[in-house]
Amino acid sequence: MIQTNPLEILAKLIEMPSVTPDQAGTVDYIENIITHLGGIVERIDSGNTANLLATIGTGEETLAFAGHVDVVPSGNHDKWLNQNPFKLHQHGDNLVGRGVVDMKGAIAAFLSALISFTNNTPMDKYKIMLIITSDEEGPATDGTIKVVEKLQREGRHLDYCIIGEPTSSSIFGDTIKVGRRGSLTGELTVFGKQGHIAYPDLCINPIHKALPALSELSQLVWDNGNEHFPSTSLQFANLNSGLGVTNVIPGQLITNFNFRYNTIHNAEDLILKTETILKKHQLDYSITWKHSAKPFLTKVAGLVEVCKDAIEEICNITPDLKTDGGTSDGRFLIDVSNELVELGLLNTTAHQINETTTISDLTQLTEVYNRILCKIFNG
């Protein structure tokens, strides 16, 4: 016997302390549900990460739901309402627990919708896949990307993909993510010559040398955005130099910075432009780059319209189509998906102590997912 109510499924998932990358039984639990429904389950575990690829139905078109069971650490348990973030706490309409928003709530909602839909629809009318990982909150090197690589090797493609990330900002259903910005991080070391601060003529101060270049980079307008994306942003995150004393000119300066960039650019463009500015200022430097995500934008076509219609019918609001926020596993799944959206619960308490959703939002998300399945496969 399996749970069918989204609240019951969510309670089971919350009880499993799946701090990244430990699946803590969550993937096994989901696998049992899919097996009970007659689905085919493939495990693509990698390192300490559990990855599930499940297929139900034999229809021609494929819709995938992608999600992650891993959560961030819970912090001080004493600050949680029930002193136990891994037990679902119900207070009126509120549901509190680590992962209720990001993103066990969406997984519970989709599983409940899936059970209802498959119980009432012939298997030859649909093909539904689940892609579940326990490595999204961590480095994401052993998670969804491993499933995508398998799909690519085998020539398998998704017509539609829904990621259950928490996308709503003020009320449930107000936002659908149709893309994400790229992320490029740099670590710059500017070299000088250490010496006594009273004799600057015998030294090279890397702080003084670096500041004009850093100022130019921080004030540069990289672009003005486009129809779907805001302008590219460069932000400095750390700047370190000196020995902790006031009488020594340091020998080097190290700074970390990050680009969140749109589809106007690629990583190579930004790297070239940055290093051109550094060289213009005649810096003695070294730099390392980490490109963790390219920007993507889905086709604003059938799936987007179906999701909008489902939200309008269930929630009586028209969602905005946005591309803001951090990175997600959409950066991997877009390579095997014709159309991809992210649609989930409110994101306002994600990663916080007392992470909270509501029974009404969870119920509505379940109804929206069910309506999407019906529209895609039943017309």
Active site residues: 70, 136
**Greatest alpha-carbon span in the chain:** 83
Residues 79, 346 contacting (CB under 8 angstroms): no
Q: What secondary structure does DSSP assign to 219-241, as a single string? A: H-------SSS---EEEEEEEEE
184 φ/ψ angles, rounded to the nearest 5 degrees = -135, 125
Kind of pairing between the strands at 356-358 and 94-96: antiparallel
Give 275: exposed, middle or buried? Use CB within 10 Å, 0-12, 13-18, 19+.
middle
Supply angle C-alpha 375, 298, 344, rounded to 5: 60
CB distance 132 to 51 below 8 Å: yes
* Dist. CA 6–CA 363, nearest whole Å: 7
Q: How many Å from the N-terminal Cα to the C-terminal Cα in the chain?
A: 31
